[in-house]
Structure 1
Amino acid sequence: MQQDNQKKVSLDRDLGLWSALSLVIGTIIGAGVFVRQSAVLDDAGSTTMGLLAWIAGGILTLTAGLTIAEIASQLPQTGGLYVYMEKLYGKLWGFLSGWMQIIIYGPAMIASLGAYLAILLSDFFGFPSSWNIPLAIGTVIAVGILNLFSNRYGATFAIITTLCKLVPVGALIIFGLFFGKHDAFGQSISEVHATAGNFGVAILATLFAFDGWILVANLGGEIKNPRKLLPQAITYGILAVLAIYLLVSFGVYRAIPAEKIHSLGTSAIPYIANQAFGDVGGKILSIGIIISIVGCMNGKIMTFPRIMYAMARRNQLPFSKTLSYLHPKSHTPIFSTVGELAIVALMIVFANADRLSELCIFTVYCFYVMAFVGVFLLRKRNAGKKRVFSTPLFPITPIVAILGSLFVIVSEIQSDLVGVLTSFVFVIIGIPVFYYQSKKHAGEPDNGPAEEEID
């Protein structure tokens, strides 16, 4: 009887456009906009080229988002990229994209956010550095507990943290635009002229700051009218982040000279806050960054377990029966969430999460390229059928998205071949798991996303 009741439990489809939009913006904007200003400027060589790098990164991300939006409007089920890869290329490719995200990429991203958040909390409250690991695990668990309840709580928290993080962002923009005394265009960095001008590397740095926009697609089964709202959330969310990043960069360049930004490194924005608003301003900015990271972490903790849940429904993972369980009251995948948090905690304690997340960037972009190519495949398969959303300027937009992803892939190969090969190992480990689970559950019904789940 208990098993029959569980079969009737499904994910709540009650997330509207504002919730989805807040998740896109909140999941993208973490600490990157605050700490990467110097890195982008150093690689670009001048403020003009730095602004162009942010624009280029935003445009490439937008082309990617518009391409995926068309796919999402046709395949708006829980699981996002995992579902797209399965529908486009078969179960093995879908499994490998999901495996990589739930075992390494997602947990590593969450763990790195937790580790950085712990450092900020220790600095803010004066805790000893020995507290960093317990603080990191504690904050991850706290946000994770929130996501064990109805998805309305996580979505509401996403809206609140997104609004809160826009306060320090807005303060930086206003101060730079109206009180800055320097020209945002034409400033160069004399100290690094010998190595500057690598515009491609600067774009690469901005692309990493834009990453995370696709994660809202993991909630396709919980969004109202996902065929319409998913494309809107992805498109408007990326446009909003692009505008925010560009305005923040412009404000920073107006506030202090390029040479000063270069010399300060990651401390450039705290320096501006202290100069503009005094010690109180620095504290407020720190609170803003902390809230920004918590909001980013919430988006990732809310979305990655949905991939694990979707895979478990197909019996593709060990302990699938447990991982596919939905709580009868909250209608959330509580064991998938707990399982994901357990991997995160292990990474915080035993691994360098930043390094692991860097390793997986290459693999993620390999799957991105395949997904972008998939928009051509879907148009061929569904020729003559009406689409709720069509990628603008097709085929130029998906071609630009493909070329942008190939740029990331080639750059990663050139800069970190060992890391690239290591990331392949993580993916290959999933192949025997897939075939073992397939053999073990051969003949059983596939509980994957069906059309009745999304109509």
Structure 2
Amino acid sequence: MNNQPPADKLKRSIGFWSALSIVIGTIIGSGIFFKQASVLDSAKTSTMTIFAWVLGGIITLTGGLTIAEIGAQMPYTGGLYVYIERLYGRIAGFLAGWMQVIVYGPAIIASVAGFMSILMANFFGLSSAWRIPLALITIIFIGILNFFDNKVGSAFSVITTIGKMIPIAAIIIFGIFWGKQDAFGQTLSQINHTGGGFGVAVLATLFGYDGWILIATLGGEMKNPQKVLPKAIILGITAVLIVYTLITAGILRFIPVDMIHRLGENTTAYLATKAFGEIGGKLLTAGIIVSMMGTLNGKIITFPRIVYAMAERKDIPFSKFLSFLTPKGKSPLTATALIVGLATLMMIFFDPDHLSDLCVFTIYCFYVLAFFGIFILRKKHNHRPFSTPLYPLVPIIAILGGLYIIVSEIINDPAGVGLFLGMVIIGLPILYLVKRYYSKNTIN
């Protein structure tokens, strides 16, 4: 009997620990290290800054608990793309997939790589002109890594997740126990009126928490996804919420808020050097770079699976080409190349900080739709592999939190919102043309 998977199918080889490391590794990346100043600028005080990170974590956890129930009932490759389609139909599903392939996926990869290249340039003593080349080299390297069997990418996630705990532990321990500031009660002496309000502060934290849903994209490659998926999402988000709160408290204990405001994206690098000296700071910075590489790996593992799932359905141009899997490793090679290419374009034309806010806004438009889906599924099915606790309170909080973020970003950056929504909507005529092409060729 032949036990090999069919030639056109992905392998089910991802277990619980790999799934958990992908969740944690994909979430903990650049956000917590680079968003401290922007969150503070919008929150105005250290107390509200910590609260923003906690609230962002709670919103994320309620969303994770809601999606855990939905994902356990739909354990297929594609994640959000599949959920939206099965809940709301073909057009909505296509837009969810198109959004992740053309806008969200490349944007978030470009944003993380852009932040990471700032640290890399500082680490190697290079000018800012090297940022894009360094980010590009890293993305291509990780993309090539994912041309092989998915076990290679999963193993890299486990290694980088373990490695990133070293700088995180160092920042938490040193900041909390050796810091001389009060983590609560500090207020910026120079209020940044362009920073936005508390809603924008929470939005900034959500970039730091984002990535948790990407594990759902690998549902078709998991062993026993009905059990593994909910456990990995819930435990992963909970762990990150605790870690983020402690990191923020550590940074606020060690660095006065006015200095964090002035340092901006260099806050964490300053703490590393000040706390551990030139050599220790370099080592800590290297650990943070490894952390970000793990985050990029998690995203470059998952987004090509969405391309693959859409190409399998012939929803996008060049579907036959983009659904190609490597003969031995069953990895979506051409889909990975597409995501890397689009991320490169985003990196060249957008600022990483602005990009991060816009990609969070875009994904939350579809998150809210997915969160509503739990009520639809509850009416249809009595038996569930996993049930969201405290239903319906948890999904209601997830929905309200998502709507709050969407409205805050529309008010704060209507031009950017219009651009990204336009990029999503343009997918509709493309879908029409693609389906017309395949329909004519099938008939012929």
Q: Rate the CA distance shift 1:290–1:194 in 2: closer, same or farther, 3 A.
A: closer
Is the CA contact (8 Å cut-off) linking 1:6 and 1:325 kept in structure 2?
A: no
Q: Rate the CA distance shift 1:191–1:363 in 2: closer, same or farther, 3 A.
A: closer
Is the CA contact (8 Å cut-off) linking 1:45 and 1:197 kept in structure 2?
A: no
Q: Rate the CA distance shift 1:444–1:373 in 2: closer, same or farther, 3 A.
A: farther
Structure 2 counterpart SS, 1:317: coil
How far apart in 1 are the matches of 2:399 and 2:74?
Answer: 20
Partner residue, 1:448: none
How far apart in 1 are the matches of 2:179 and 2:128?
Answer: 36
Partner residue, 1:287: 286
Identity of aligned residues (%): 55
How far apart in 1 are the matches of 2:241 and 2:49?
Answer: 14
What are the within-5 Å matches in structure 2 for residues 48-447 of structure 1? 48-192=47-191, 198-349=197-348, 355-356=354-355, 358-382=357-381, 384=382, 386-442=383-439
- Deviating above 6 A after TM superposition, structure 1's stretches of 4 or more consecutive aligned residues are 193-197
User: Per-residue displacement from partner, 1:11-33 (whole Å, max 9, x unpaired)?
Assistant: 11111111111111111111111
Partner residue, 1:453: none
How far apart in 2 are the matches of 1:90 and 1:372?
Answer: 15
How far apart in 1 are the matches of 2:16 and 2:396?
Answer: 28
Select between 337-346 and 92-101 the one with higher mean Cα deviation: 337-346
RMSD over aligned CA atoms reads 2.3
How far apart in 2 are the matches of 1:243 and 1:356?
Answer: 26
Partner residue, 1:452: none
**Letter paired with 1:158:** S
How far apart in 2 are the matches of 1:351 and 1:36?
Answer: 17
Which runs of 5 or more residues in structure 2 are unaligned?
Answer: none
Is the CA contact (8 Å cut-off) linking 2:34 and 2:115 kept in structure 1?
A: no
How far apart in 2 are the matches of 1:378 and 1:75?
Answer: 11
Deviation at 1:363, TM superposition (A): 2.6
Is the CA contact (8 Å cut-off) linking 2:164 and 2:291 kept in structure 1?
A: yes
Deviation at 1:444, TM superposition (A): 10
Q: Rate the CA distance shift 1:52–1:111 in 2: closer, same or farther, 3 A.
A: closer
Q: Rate the CA distance shift 1:170–1:423 in 2: closer, same or farther, 3 A.
A: same
Is the CA contact (8 Å cut-off) linking 2:76 and 2:219 kept in structure 1?
A: yes
**Letter paired with 2:426:** I
Select between 141-150 and 253-262 the one with higher mean Cα deviation: 253-262
Is the CA contact (8 Å cut-off) linking 1:48 and 1:184 kept in structure 2?
A: yes
Is the CA contact (8 Å cut-off) linking 1:120 and 1:286 kept in structure 2?
A: yes
Deviation at 1:291, TM superposition (A): 0.9
Deviation at 1:253, TM superposition (A): 2.0
Q: Rate the CA distance shift 1:317–1:6 in 2: closer, same or farther, 3 A.
A: farther
Is the CA contact (8 Å cut-off) linking 1:317 and 1:437 kept in structure 2?
A: yes
User: Per-residue displacement from partner, 1:161-190 (whole Å, max 9, x unpaired)?
Assistant: 111111111001111222223322222233
**Letter paired with 1:412:** E
How far apart in 1 are the matches of 2:224 and 2:256?
Answer: 48
Q: Rate the CA distance shift 1:197–1:220 in 2: closer, same or farther, 3 A.
A: closer
**Letter paired with 2:68:** A
The reply to whether residue 10 of structure 1 matches residue 9 of structure 2 is: yes
**Letter paired with 2:418:** L
Q: Rate the CA distance shift 1:49–1:244 in 2: closer, same or farther, 3 A.
A: same
How far apart in 1 are the matches of 2:345 and 2:180?
Answer: 48
How far apart in 2 are the matches of 1:348 and 1:266?
Answer: 17
Structure 1 counterpart SS, 2:190: helix
Structure 2 counterpart SS, 1:21: helix
Select between 173-182 and 151-160 the one with higher mean Cα deviation: 173-182
User: Per-residue displacement from partner, 1:339-360 (whole Å, max 9, x unpaired)?
Assistant: 2222223333455565555434
**Letter paired with 1:426:** M
Structure 2 counterpart SS, 1:332: coil
**Letter paired with 2:101:** I
Structure 2 counterpart SS, 1:148: coil
Q: Rate the CA distance shift 1:134–1:177 in 2: closer, same or farther, 3 A.
A: closer
Select between 131-140 and 101-110 the one with higher mean Cα deviation: 131-140
Which runs of 5 or more residues in structure 1 are unaligned?
Answer: 446-455
Q: Rate the CA distance shift 1:132–1:148 in 2: closer, same or farther, 3 A.
A: same
Q: Rate the CA distance shift 1:329–1:298 in 2: closer, same or farther, 3 A.
A: same
How far apart in 2 are the matches of 1:336 and 1:403?
Answer: 34
Structure 2 counterpart SS, 1:182: coil
Deviation at 1:107, TM superposition (A): 1.1
The TM-score normalised by the length of structure 2 is: 0.93
User: Per-residue displacement from partner, 1:390-417 (whole Å, max 9, x unpaired)?
Assistant: 1111001001000011011111111111
Structure 1 counterpart SS, 2:126: coil
How far apart in 2 are the matches of 1:186 and 1:157?
Answer: 41
Is the CA contact (8 Å cut-off) linking 1:82 and 1:95 kept in structure 2?
A: yes
How far apart in 2 are the matches of 1:24 and 1:419?
Answer: 28
